[in-house]
Structure 1
Amino acid sequence: MEEIPGLSIPLTLYAPETAIKDIIGEKIADTSLREEIDDSFYVVDLGKAVEQYETWMKCIPRVHPFYAMKCNHDNPLVKVLAQLGTGFECGSKREIQTVLDCGVKPCDIIYANTCKQESYVKFARQNGVSQMTFDNEDELYKINRVYSDSRLVLRLAPDDNSALTRVSFKYGCPPANAQHLLNVAKGLGLNVVGVSFHVGSVVQNPESYADPIRAARRVFDLATKLGFQMEILDIGGGFPGDLYAQIVPPFQKFADVINRELEQNFAASEFPSLRIISEPGRYFAGPGYTIVLNVIARHTIDYCDDEDDDKKAPEFRYYLNDGLYGSFLNTSYKPVTLIPAFLKERNPDEPKYSSSIWGQTCDGLDFITKSCTMNKLEVGEWVFVEALGAYSMSSCSNFNGFNTPACYYVAPKHLRALLEETFKPDELKT
């Protein structure tokens, strides 16, 4: 492994045959970015985002990805995606500013928060970010006051029952109400240019995209009859890419449904100038982030049978130096039993014990896994969790006074030219 000199972030290149354990071992020894030698940290493989982009463009080339900033706003990741040519979905003033600072053009940003703070709308206007979503009448009156020449996208509320995290109960207009909102926009002289929807997070049924695309076509037709020039279709996010990929179909299954429905409802021959975008978050952010954790404490619970005084197998509580208030908020309510991988090799015949895994704060709710069966861990041992880049760093806090994890950035050697173009000296804010 080698460093690229002169870049605005420390970045290690690795050979194709290098294993993640080898990289982790090197970074455990390198404490230059950590306050304490046993602090948790991320190994961030920026090459994973490049792989995901290449797969996306191969599978659904008509759809331009607009990365969802809320998923992970880590600046090096944003820079790489911007260099590749993605657009960006932003929900706040700070997210818009971060993307603009990375050199992204305003036309490649969509302000996809349907209920916006008025001062943030003014900020978008001042910076030329004109594409924004709405799903209710009062939002139209607000936009008319503040940014009347914006380019509006009507967000629909689809059926998102197949998603682990539903969003339609909070955002989106029922398709039956679309005509009314279009009439209000027309009466105000506002410019509606598209339709969007979001089928939720961690979608388990690829067919969930079919009905919303069909509904979007019906709204396109309604809007066209009112005289609106419809130019944008936004199919939202929900695609696999992080540690939950094990419980959902592969990305190609989603691409097949989307390609089929786009061909049937928005054929390129009928809509030659239509811009089709999407809002993938965990698809890009998830795969490249591996968190490395230290077992800071262990509580052994011994049991004794009162009838025959025979000892039962002990149970173990393990305490790691990250948890619910750090990188694991998004895992606490999902149906995946999270067991970290071990750096230390294990004998296949080694016994396994009933265990639970907890974070380091003093809050009783701070757990990672309440119940599992696993090999015995030692205090001071290092473990890791792969594909944890989605909604992890972005929700980290310093609750109870604990540090947030440092990041060590790596990439495969064949991306040297791209990375040298992306990370120029003094250009990147970290």
Structure 2
Amino acid sequence: MTAALADQARLDLPAHWPAALSPRALAAVDAPTPFLAVDLTTVADRYAAFTAAIPGVSTFYAMKCNSAEDVLGTLAALGSSFEVASIGELRMLQEIGVDASEVLYSNPIKPPAAIAEARRAGLWRFGFDSEGELHKLAQYAPGAAVYIRLRVDDSTSLFPLSRKFGAEAHEARALMLLARELGLRPYGVTFHVGSQCSTTSAWRQAVAAAGRLLAALHEDGVHLEMLDLGGGFPARYVERVPSLAQIADTLNAALDELLPYRPALLAAEPGRHLVAESAVMVASVLGREVRAGENWLYLDVGAYNGMMETQQTVQQWRFPLWTSRTDHALVPHLPFTVTGPSCDSSDTMFYGVNLPSTIEVGDRLYIGSAGAYTLSYASHFNGFPPPEPVVVGGPHAHVPAARQVTP
């Protein structure tokens, strides 16, 4: 065994892998694969840590990354508010009793019918970044409060988001004044530093840009009531990311130093940060082959039914992996290409990942930190079903939707 293989074989589970989702606990779950094992205690713990780290900032969970009813119910019970990107998401929240007046509709471009329905439901705060959207809002939600999305530097994130949305700084002031002319209520400013942001300085730069807009609008007699820090707060996978404490230190200092005044509402829209580490994707090995000297492992879950982010990042996204094999940490490990069950050859998730040399058909692969953008992306491509959520840890009293298992 080479030194590199020996080092890999001795690796322990990542420290952030929840105890309720340990290999031993998952082995006791009697459910057909693929399934997403969810620990709601981790969701609750992440929420508590986030709200404590940045005092005075209200949390609006970005439900697009995981809209499972058990997750939504857990966060709602803890006092979280929510951010939606569609009328469908708002309807899901209404079904579990969330008051629409406590929800932010941050998608900058919305269908007219969705705007009208949301307004009728009691939602009164809408995001925008363009003149066209303002005219829609004035027509379908007259008098509504509006907040502008600024384009900021998101080059240090794994998923940059600035090309599709965000008003340039020099446009934002005029747009907010136009909102006032159209009878809308200039309410706030928001930004997004990009999903899975890797540097704390991105938040400081973004707060500085928002502060300049606050100051400029103040000269126009517009006093904004909300600063929304958006999302981008990273979760822990394999690569190192800034800790919540480091991000909080940067944000707290920026809010103190770079704003002309503090809006009444400071908001944030964490998504991945709250839920990614709360779940493990459990898949079974369907086949093991050697092709042109390369070890291939075929699973019953792939990019199209749960692991799409591995495709979006061109295999640059590394998830923590473990297996059901009792000799996982004892035998030599070999590099494997790990692919999905569909007939599409691009349905391949991992290249060169080290797994036990003894792995075989029927064994299970555990993909950690899989609670974000898995169920929400999953499709029935090729007739393969999306993974089912299975609750294996945490409070269950308010969770009717997911199958509940106590190992």
Match of 1:73 in 2: 67
* Distance in 2 separating the partners of 1:335 and 1:24: 27
Match of 2:252 in 1: 259
* Distance in 2 separating the partners of 1:18 and 1:82: 22
By how many angstroms is 1:61 displaced?
Answer: 1.6
By how many angstroms is 1:381 displaced?
Answer: 0.8
TM-score (norm 1): 0.84
Q: 1:398 aligns with which of 380, 383, 389?
A: 380
Deviations 1:244-294 (A, max 9, x none): 6x3312111111100101112348xx53x6111111110112011111110
Match of 1:186 in 2: 180
List aligned pairs for 1:7-18, cutoff 5 A.
Answer: none
Give the superposed CA RMSD. Answer: 2.1
* Distance in 2 separating the partners of 1:176 and 1:347: 56
Contact 1:153 1:195 survives alignment (8 Å): yes
Say if 1:371 and 1:152 are closer, same or farther in 2 by CA, change over 3 A.
same
Matched, 1:321 2:300: yes
* Distance in 2 separating the partners of 1:242 and 1:95: 26
By how many angstroms is 1:370 displaced?
Answer: 2.6
Deviations 1:275-330 (A, max 9, x none): 111111101120111111100111124x7xxxxxxxxxx53211000011011101
Q: 2:282 aligns with which of 280, 288, 292?
A: 292
Say if 1:375 and 1:174 are closer, same or farther in 2 by CA, change over 3 A.
same
Say if 1:373 and 1:134 are closer, same or farther in 2 by CA, change over 3 A.
same
Q: 2:39 aligns with which of 40, 45, 56?
A: 45
Q: 1:143 aligns with which of 137, 140, 162?
A: 137
* Distance in 2 separating the partners of 1:347 and 1:252: 33
* Distance in 1 separating the partners of 2:179 and 2:218: 13
Say if 1:217 and 1:398 are closer, same or farther in 2 by CA, change over 3 A.
same
* Distance in 1 separating the partners of 2:80 and 2:199: 25
Deviations 1:360-388 (A, max 9, x none): 00001000113334322111111201111
Contact 1:206 1:257 survives alignment (8 Å): yes
Contact 1:242 1:389 survives alignment (8 Å): no
Unaligned runs of 5+ in 2: 1-17
Match of 1:248 in 2: 241
Question: Alignment partner of 1:218: what SS?
Answer: helix
Match of 1:352 in 2: 333
Match of 2:322 in 1: 341
Question: Alignment partner of 1:280: what SS?
Answer: coil
Deviates more, 1:200-209 or 1:216-225: 216-225
Unaligned runs of 5+ in 1: 1-15, 304-313
TM-score (norm 2): 0.89
Matched, 1:169 2:131: no
Match of 1:120 in 2: 114
By how many angstroms is 1:242 displaced?
Answer: 4.5
Matched, 1:219 2:213: yes
Contact 2:272 2:372 survives alignment (8 Å): yes
Q: 1:368 aligns with which of 349, 352, 366?
A: 349
Matched, 1:379 2:361: yes
* Distance in 1 separating the partners of 2:275 and 2:162: 23
Contact 1:294 1:321 survives alignment (8 Å): yes
- Runs of 4 or more consecutive aligned structure 1 residues displaced over 6 Å after TM superposition: none
Q: 1:277 aligns with which of 267, 291, 294?
A: 267
* Distance in 1 separating the partners of 2:351 and 2:248: 36
Question: Alignment partner of 1:394: what SS?
Answer: coil
* Amino acid paired to 1:26: A
**In the comparison of the two structures, how many residue pairs are matched?**
383
* Distance in 1 separating the partners of 2:26 and 2:176: 54
* Distance in 2 separating the partners of 1:183 and 1:58: 35
Say if 1:125 and 1:347 are closer, same or farther in 2 by CA, change over 3 A.
closer
Deviates more, 1:378-387 or 1:226-235: 226-235
* Distance in 2 separating the partners of 1:366 and 1:101: 35
By how many angstroms is 1:42 displaced?
Answer: 1.4
Contact 1:67 1:280 survives alignment (8 Å): yes
Match of 1:12 in 2: none
* Amino acid paired to 1:282: R
Deviations 1:152-180 (A, max 9, x none): 00110001111111111110101111122
Match of 1:153 in 2: 147
Deviations 1:378-427 (A, max 9, x none): 11111201111111110000000011112211225xx5xxx43x34xxx7
* Amino acid paired to 1:400: N
* Distance in 2 separating the partners of 1:348 and 1:188: 65
Deviations 1:4-53 (A, max 9, x none): xxxxxxxxxxxx976612221111xx24xx4xxxx311110000011101
* Distance in 2 separating the partners of 1:200 and 1:325: 23
* Distance in 2 separating the partners of 1:407 and 1:158: 35
